[in-house]
Amino acid sequence: MTNNESKNNSQREIETEQETFWRGNFGDNYSSRNDFAALARANTHFFGMIFSHLGRPPCKVVELGPNIGLNLAAIKNICPSTKTVGIEINSSAHSRLVNSNSCDLAINQSLLTFDAKKNAGELSFTKGVLIHVSPEKLELAYSQLYNCSTKFIMVCEYYSPKPLSIEYRGQSEKLFKRDFASDMLDLYPDLSLKAYGFLYHRDNIFPQDDLTWFLMEKSNQNIDN
């Protein structure tokens, strides 16, 4: 299987204001701002902790919105044999994914339209991505996360008990905070909360952005693909 899969943007496209934003120059610039070694070390520590709750590293993971693949690189550092799939809307970031060693299959498509069941793995996740999805499309994003997981789902996002829209680098309607995990637990009764925690920007060893993570598990599912 090739490590590169692209889709014609005219096919099954759901182009929201937010998707147009991340597909263009702002998404390109985001990649440049976030390529640094400190985050790679922090991510390796973070995913090692997540995998400890799984019992073992998963055979296959699917990330919705990996950008240039820093999270997937951390996963490969922990377990090189884990197959990694990334669904990335920005073409420049996707090109870097294709040319990296972190992503076994890079799909240049919206997370709202890719074939989730075809690309399912034991663990599906987002990290700082659902906060940028249009609230009107969140249930579709949740469905995609749910359908591309055979066992575990992890969301690591900005948390708020009530939905909020926050100005993001001078832009409005581009960042939304809410209780994403609670939404999913309400939508899918077979999901249960397995673990949760908080990442802090003033952590003395592995600082990250202030993100809250939630690990959920599907019931009555076979962990092996």
Q: Is the dihedral of CA 173, 62, 181, 158 positive or negative?
A: negative
79: in domain: yes
213: in domain: yes
- Whole-model pTM: value is 0.83
pLDDT tens, residue by residue, 18-74: 556 545 454 445 555 554 677 889 999 999 999 999 999 999 999 999 999 999 999
4: in domain: no
Amino acid occupying residue 203? D
Number of domains in the chain: 1
How many Å apart are CA 173 and CA 164, to the nearest integer?
10
| Residue 123 confidence class, pLDDT cut points 50, 70, 90 | very high
Contact 92, 112 (CB under 8 A): no
Domain CATH code at residue 19: 3.40.50.150
Please report where in the chains the tokens 């202030």 appear, as a residue. Answer: 210
Contact 187, 197 (CB under 8 A): no
**Of the listed ranges 13-27, 81-95, 106-120, 144-158, the one predicted with least confidence:** 13-27
7: in domain: no
| Residue 11 confidence class, pLDDT cut points 50, 70, 90 | very low
136: in domain: yes
152: in domain: yes
Q: Which domain holds residue 42?
A: 14-218
Quote the pLDDT of residue 17: 59
Q: Which residue in 3, 152, 154, 123 sits closest to 59, CA to CA?
A: 123
Quote the pLDDT of residue 131: 93
> How does DSSP assign 187-223, residue by residue?
H-TTEEEEEEEEE-TT-SSS---SEEEEEEEESS--S
6: in domain: no
| Residue 173 confidence class, pLDDT cut points 50, 70, 90 | low
* Average of per-residue pLDDT across 118-127: 97
124: in domain: yes
